[in-house]
Amino acid sequence: MTGAILLIGIGLLVSGTYGDSGHSGCGGPAQLTHNHGHFSSNLSAAVYENDIQCHWRIHATHGRIIRLRALWFDLEEDNECDNDYVVVNDGKSSRSPIIGKFCGNASVELISSHRYLSIFFETNSHRQARGFNFTYDFVQASSGCGGNFYRCANNQCVPKLGICDGHNQCGDSSDELNCAASGVCKGTEFECPDNTCIPKNWVCDGSNDCGDLSDEDNCGKQTGLSGCRSSAWQNGTSGSFSSMDYLDPNLEYENDTECHWDINVPDGQFIKLTFDPDFELEEGRAVCDTDRLTIYNGKDHSLIDEYCGSTVPDPVIIPNDHALVKFSSDDETSFKGFMIHWEAVDAAGLPTEVKHDSGPHGCDQWINYTGPGIIQTPNFGPGNNYADNTTCVWRIHGPEGYVIKVHFNDFGVEGSFLCKYDSVRIFDGPSADDDLLATICGRRLPRDEWSKSNNMMVAFYADRSYNAVGLNATFEAVKVVCK
């Protein structure tokens, strides 16, 4: 589809290409997913505002990292950067390692370790300044800082001319370490083109460890590898596969990993999946937003279910002879992982649709759209608040050629900076792997939210303290007509 699209009955024009989404707090999107882009502290004003909190998260494609550079940078000067400042975290959130905290007229040029960067901007009630304008690019994971720059251990980029000159340019002295070392890898290691050393047993294992696939070149007949050091092709009547290093009691799966398996059984049979009892992935907030195991019907790629945490999933029957299983981990915590045993089963008498339960709080729903409806948190009503530790997930699947609109009738969720306690998150699809459209909290009635596809997921999360009325919202599918 090209050009604009018209939402019937609404008269709203929306661009035909999608990518960046969410609200940064400084104008413009918070979720940045294009290969190249810009963001700034103030879109039109000459100076930034006082008492604001803004955030951006940059998400690169697999096998890429992020190079970030300030075209100009002018904040209130402060030796400790405690007044107006920018913090850059090397990962998905403020819990990720800090690359740097910047203020004044800092020179900012850095690179991520993995696929995510989080940038936070906060100002006080005093002085204002011009602000900043950042540009970013996705580059190969082996690219480093590029040009004449050296990548510090803290991921800041400094001129190569300053390496081993006796001056601490990096701030962590990493540009002054090992200045007489040769950089040659050990006999048990493989040397990547960028001089990175990896264990030799990582060569030809299906994982792009060097970042440029050089450790997977000339691997003979090894094809169809999953990325978790096993075959991606699972064909026949039974088999097993697992996350990497699952069978080693002393190891955990790797961070920042994506693996996939394609299961095919004889025509006309269904697939049964059974999970080992030692199932352990990183826990998410209502949804699997960190590490996740996702299962799809191979016929139409519809979502069967998504798993995380340490609760062992019940056996799953996939009503088809083809299934897809995907595993992804972020760049933070890792755990033991999982093992799945699969087998072909006779389809006779088995249901052709997957049944889902209503979750721990009775409010999870998989909604196949038949008309407008209401979603609301438990105990919603005058004088009532939701309970602590409540989670609800609503997945709404509309007809092809439609988008989903959510209108909030009433709303009250504990407010906080970046909604880090209680929150409502809206995704453009049924999985936490889909684009995040909005993160909402507080007591102000939110604006309407629109999906860009015919699927939407609304996830409510409450922590163990403080609560409010919750949410009551109407959802409807709106037909899209190409002009």
Task: Provide CB contacts within 8 A for 55, sequence distance 6+.
Answer: 24, 25, 30, 118, 119, 120, 121, 418
CA distance 30 to 23: 5
Residue 127 burial by CB count (10 A; 0-12/13-18/19+): exposed, middle or buried? middle
Rounded to whole angstroms, how far apart are CA atoms 184 and 191?
8
What percentage of the chain reaches a pLDDT higher than 90?
48
Domains and CATH numbers, the chain: 31-140 (2.60.120.290), 233-346 (2.60.120.290), 365-479 (2.60.120.290)
Phi first, then psi, for residue 175 (nearest 5°) are -80, -5
What are the strands, taking DSSP E only, across 333-435?
339-345, 365-368, 373-376, 391-397, 402-412, 423-427
Q: What DSSP letter does each residue of 235-268 carry, written as one string?
A: ESSEEEEESTTTT-TT--PPSS-EEEEEEE-STT
Residue percentage of the chain with pLDDT more than 70? 82
- Runs of H (alpha helix) within 40-111: none
The model's confidence at residue 460, banded by pLDDT at 50, 70 and 90, is: very high
pLDDT, one tens digit per residue, over 113-132 is 888 999 999 999 888 999 99
Q: What is the pLDDT of residues 257-290, one digit of tens each?
A: 889 899 999 999 999 999 999 999 999 889 999 9
Amino acid at residue number 206: G
Report strand pairing: 31-32 vs 131-140: unpaired
Position 205 confidence tier, pLDDT thresholds 50, 70, 90: low
Q: How many whole angstroms separate alpha carbon 311 and alpha carbon 299?
A: 28
Q: How far is 202 from 216, CA to CA, in rounded Å?
A: 9
